[in-house]
Amino acid sequence: MSTRVLAAGDLFVRNELFVDALRAETLRAGTSGDLAFSELTLPWPVEPFGRVAEVDEASGTEEQLIEALRGAEVCVTQMAPLTRRILEASPDLRLFGISRGGPVNANLEAATEHGVAVCFAPGRNAGATAEHTLGLILAAVRRIPQTHVDLMAGQWRGDYYRYDDVGIEIRGSTAGLIGCGAVGRRVARALAALGARVLVHDPYLDDLGDLAGIAEPVTLDELLARAQIVSLHARATPETIGMIGARQIAALAPGSIIVNCARGSLLDYEAVCDAAESGHLFAAAFDVFPEEPIPAGSRLLTTPNIIVTPHLAGASKQTAANAASIIAGDVGRHLRGEPLAHCANPEVPAAARPARP
């Protein structure tokens, strides 16, 4: 008996990536003929994600998913919504795989009530985000975007060579990382390889592990007092909202930089603009924002020495392939009746997702 799988991909994590990863996973288990696929292509990122009913950061409509999920036991997706209404209309659904670092587009409470396990893909974009973070640090300390724009406009800005206007090198600087998960650990190793002294603050960090001898764990206040480069890598939680505000920025040494490729809610961007305009910050660089897209008229678009990219840190071909592969692994476990590796609602009983005969 075949298992019906809906691949609800988009223009980044495409359906063929899901299908190829699932076929490779089932081939390893000797069950490659047991999947029957249907497909739905969602419009993200050409059309921004948004709120769908009670879930956030989703693409597509409830009506689309209800129709596409008819008879499907498994859905693999990045952006499709999983709402109470969709669950009520999809009695055959047993596993909903979200190829993102967290299942923000799923109603976990309703999924649990309906016996639907939700899995996700932690660490899928860690490499890409770490590289983008390093790129923003380099762009900020060496004024790369500004000097490019000036040169393209016909201005040879030799005046940037004045001592008061040049930036610092990473070598010999102190870098402070707030958050030390998959991304932060990669950034720590890269900065240390470039000769930086690396500080990390993470209240959930019990053991440095492979960062022993590379990074020094410190309190947040100590990190702010010592670091010239501060990069945010914390998760968005009620405790971390606004954790870096005017007081914390004022504690930094004059001429410091701040980089954020994590979540916009971690940082007071108005305070950053104030500090950049006053010259207290040498530069700042961001890939995430409290409101996306950035609204017209935002100070972030006009304040000098602020670099912005449109939430692209995780955008790489490897990220898309990793996302599909991680989810395919849990689909394979579901089919074999094994515990899921990355289940967001493990309280769903195993009996609700039995192995296929």
| pLDDT one-digit tens code per residue, 292-341 | 889 999 999 999 999 999 999 999 999 999 999 999 999 999 999 999 99
> What letter represents residue 349's amino acid?
P
User: 3-state DSSP call for residue 192?
Assistant: helix
Q: Respond yes or no: is residue 311 known to be catalytic.
A: yes
- Residue 108: which H helix or E strand, with range? helix 108-113
pLDDT-based confidence at residue 356 (cuts at 50, 70, 90): very low
Domain assignments of the chain as residue spans, ordered by start: 3-124+316-352, 126-308
What pLDDT sits at residue 30? 65
Which tokens hold the place of 259?
């980089």
Calpha distance 351→334 (Å, rounded):
11
Measure the CA dihedral 283/254/232/201, to 10°. Answer: 160
Residues 6+ apart with CB under 8 A from 70: 90, 92
Q: How far is CA 163 from CA 167, 174, 322, in A?
A: 9, 20, 44
Which of 311, 334, 342, 353 is the catalytic position? Answer: 311
Calpha distance 242→249 (Å, rounded):
12
Asked if residue 357 has a cis previous peptide bond (ω within 30° of 0), the answer is no
Which of 54, 292, 336, 338 is the catalytic position? Answer: 292
Q: Is 195 within 8 Å of 162 (Cβ atoms)?
A: no
Q: Is 330 within 8 Å of 97 (Cβ atoms)?
A: yes
pLDDT-based confidence at residue 110 (cuts at 50, 70, 90): very high
What's the whole-number mean pLDDT along residues 115-132? 97
Calpha distance 125→313 (Å, rounded):
8
Question: Same CATH fold, 126-308 and 3-124+316-352?
Answer: yes
- How much of the chain exceeds pLDDT 90, in percent? 92
Calpha distance 195→189 (Å, rounded):
10
Which tokens hold the place of 113?
């009530």
As a whole number of Å, the CA-based R_g of the chain is: 23
Nearest of 248, 275, 285 to residue 142 by alpha carbon:
285
Q: How far is CA 14 from CA 8, 311, 316, in A?
A: 8, 19, 13
According to CATH, the superfamily of the domain at 126-308 is NAD(P)-binding Rossmann-like Domain (3.40.50.720)
Residue 32 has pLDDT above 60, yes or no: no
For 203-244, the pLDDT digits (tens) are 988 889 999 999 999 999 999 999 999 999 998 889 999 999
The model's pTM = 0.89
What pLDDT sits at residue 214? 96
What pLDDT sits at residue 354? 45
Q: Match domain 3-124+316-352 to its CATH number in 3.30.379.10, 3.40.50.720, 3.40.50.11030, 3.40.225.10.
A: 3.40.50.720
